[in-house]
Amino acid sequence: MEGSQKTNTGLKVGLGILLVLFLGTAFYASKLYTDNKETEKTLVAEKQQVMNDLSNMTKLYDDAIAESEIKNQDLIDARDRIQGLMDSLKVSQNSVNSLWRYKKKFLALQEEMEELLEENDRLKIENEYLATSLDSTQLQLAERTMFTDSLLVQNTELANVVKDAAALQTVGLKGMGVIERSSGKQIPTERARRSDKIKVCFTVPKNTLTEAGDKELYVQVIDPKNNVLGSNNQVQFEDQVLNYSLISHFNYENRNLNICEYVSQPEDSKFEKGRYQINVFNDKEMISSSEFTLK
């Protein structure tokens, strides 16, 4: 009888231990399942974010390719590499190692994209400069016109003609946005949000009738919202008031002189997208005008 009681007691203890082990195993399995689900959910969300970033990069390439008049194979190849990476990512496993590899590839492609877009902007600006190669002919025509005018002056008209012919003129007026590196290097760009300054360049042609010495011209840069950028100071000419962005000071030596001036960003803001108007004044007289667009 006593032996039977001991056996029952041992059996109960064994069953109790098995029950504890079973409950512990069930709890661990449940927790492991929950953790795996959370991890999978996080990986799926991060994978989707990488897909979205790659898609945005593809759109930037599409815009750059569409804006370029000349086919840029480097941009097309880079866009195709991104599309291939997206296709591969779609069918990839949701694992930490796999996602990390794709993130590293995305960062490399992002760095490549910035360099390619800067190079594309530079090439577009250079192409525009090539289109203005006729400026040299305009310089020659301006010099001949001044010379011809000096031969035609007669009697009482002489003083007025000489005065007009002696006034400084400008040709080849051009404006653009530029990115300014910390090293001082400047990169032309057509993108408003990436422009640090607006660069205005023109040539003062040779004029033998103009007295050499220190000269000044007023430069006016007007943004798409009709605001005068830069200092936006005023100067009074009899009954006329001129708002200008800057005064270009230079020493004139009776020969062709190339000049470039800069207008910084508006305070606490970026340049607006749209058409910009550039005007150059000699006193109150506008002597040249041009326009350009930032996208």
Model confidence pTM above 0.75? no
Same domain, 106 and 194: no
Same domain, 122 and 173: no
pLDDT exceeds 80 at position 290: yes
Same domain, 91 and 147: no
Same domain, 143 and 108: no
pLDDT exceeds 60 at position 155: no
pLDDT exceeds 50 at position 28: no
Count of domains observed in the chain? 2
Residue 115 binned pLDDT confidence (cut-offs 50, 70, 90): confident
- The range of the structural domain enclosing residue 216 comes to 134-294
pLDDT exceeds 90 at position 229: yes
Residue 236 binned pLDDT confidence (cut-offs 50, 70, 90): very high
Identify which has the larger pLDDT, 50 or 17.
Answer: 50
Look at the block and give the residue holding tokens 């504890």.
20
Which of 98, 128, 158 marks a domain boundary? 128
Q: What is the pLDDT of residue 271?
A: 93
Q: Give the phi and the psi of residue 176 in degrees, each rounded to 5.
A: -165, 160
160-178 as b/e: b if 16+ CB within 10 A: eeeeebeebbbbbbbbbbb
* Alpha-carbon gap, residue 217 to 210, rounded angstroms: 14
Same domain, 121 and 138: no
Q: What is the CATH number of the domain that holds 203?
A: 2.60.40.10
Q: What residues contact 247, with CB distance under 8 A and at least 6 apart? A: 216, 217, 218, 219
Pick from 204, 202, 206: which is nearest to 255 by CA?
206
Same domain, 141 and 279: yes
Same domain, 109 and 213: no
Same domain, 47 and 173: no
* Alpha-carbon gap, residue 292 to 151, rounded angstroms: 38
pLDDT exceeds 90 at position 128: no
Burial class (CB in 10 A: 0-12, 13-18, 19+), 239: exposed
